[in-house]
Amino acid sequence: MKLSCLPVSLYDDIFSGKCTVVDWINLAHDLGLDGVDFSIKFFPDRDVDKINSICSMLTKCGIEACMIACYSDFTHPDNTKRAEELENLKSDIKLARDLGAKFVRVTAGQKHPGIKHADGIQWVADGFRYALDEAQKHGITLAYENHTKGAPWQYWDFSQPSEIFLEILNILSDTPLGVCFDTANPLVLKEDVLDLFNKVLDRIVVLHIFDMKEVGKFEPVRVGTGVSPIQEILTQLHKAEYDGWISIEEASRQARKGFEESVEYVRNTWNRTLTS
C-alpha cells in the first residue's frame, strides 16, 4: 500500500497564491507520505518552468505524483462544449505525464437540467473512450470516481446515483478504465457504501478515503471522525490483497493538524488490518 493525499483543505490558499504546490509537497514530505495528489486547478497555465520545479521538488523529497483530480463534464448538452471538455482532458493527461503522475481522476459530468438519461450515458461513455485512447498513449490510467460535485461545478454529478455509475462502468467493461473509489460520497444519497465498494472492488486503482459528518448530508469532517465505513473498507482491501494507492481526501479545514491526524488514523487503521 502506498499513501497519498488530496489537499482539499489547502485549495483556497493554493488557488489564491497564499501557498504553493511546492509548499504542499514539503508538507507531504513532513507527513511521511509516499505520494501527493493535485487538483487540475493548481495549474491554470502549463508553465514549463513551474512544472519542472515541481518535478524537481518531488525528486528531492522522494515523493511520487500519484494522481491529478480533473472535473471532466461530458454531460453538457452542447456538443461543442463536450468536445472542449475532451480536448481539456487530453491536455490534462499530458500534464499528468509531465508531472510523472500515474492516474487522472475523471468524472462523468454535471446533471445539467433537461438532459435525457440515455443521452447522458452515451455522452459519458463516448468521452471516456476517446480519453482512454489518449491516456494509453502516455501510460496514464484513468480513474472514474463515484463523485458528488466538483469544486467548479454548478450541479451535482450526473452519475452520483450508484446505479448510473455502475451502468457507465458496465458499458466500459471492455476498457482499462479504473475506479477511484470514494469512501463517503454514496452517503450523500443514503446509499450503502460497502455494497457499491464490493461491486467495483476488482476495478479500484486508487482508494479515496473521505469522511462525512452524517448520512444524507454533504459535510466533510476529518477522516476517522465521521460515518464513513473506513475500517471495514480497509479490512476488505487487505483481504483482497490490494497493493495500490490509498489517497486521503483531507477536507476538514483544520490546518496542519487535520492532515497529521488523518494520516495517523489511516496508517493505524491499515496496520490493524495487517494483524487482524
**From first to last of its 276 residues, what are the pLDDT tens digits of the chain?**
899 999 999 999 999 999 999 999 999 999 999 999 999 999 998 899 999 999 999 999 999 999 999 999 999 999 999 999 999 999 999 999 999 999 999 999 999 999 999 999 999 999 999 999 999 999 999 999 999 998 889 999 999 999 999 999 999 999 999 999 999 999 999 999 999 999 999 999 999 999 999 999 999 999 999 999 999 999 999 999 999 999 999 999 999 999 999 999 999 999 988 776
Asked if residues 9 and 254 have their Cβ atoms less than 8 Å apart, the reply is: yes
Name 87's Cβ contacts closer than 8 Å, sequence gap at least 6: none
DSSP state of 103: E
How many whole angstroms separate alpha carbon 25 and alpha carbon 12?
A: 16
Q: How far does Cα 159 stand from its chain's mean position?
A: 15
Do the Cβ atoms of 11 and 24 come closer than 8 Å?
Answer: no
* Whole-angstrom distance, CA of residue 169 vs CA of residue 114: 23
Contact 149, 157 (CB under 8 A): yes
Q: How far apart are CA 205 and CA 243, in angstroms?
A: 9
The length of the chain is 276
Note the pLDDT of residue 276.
Answer: 65
Structural domain of 27: 2-275
Number of domains in the chain: 1
CATH of the domain at 184: 3.20.20.150
How many whole angstroms separate alpha carbon 133 and alpha carbon 8? 29
Whole-model pTM over 0.85: yes
Q: What is the pLDDT of residue 273?
A: 87
Q: Are 189 and 161 in contact (CB under 8 A)?
A: yes
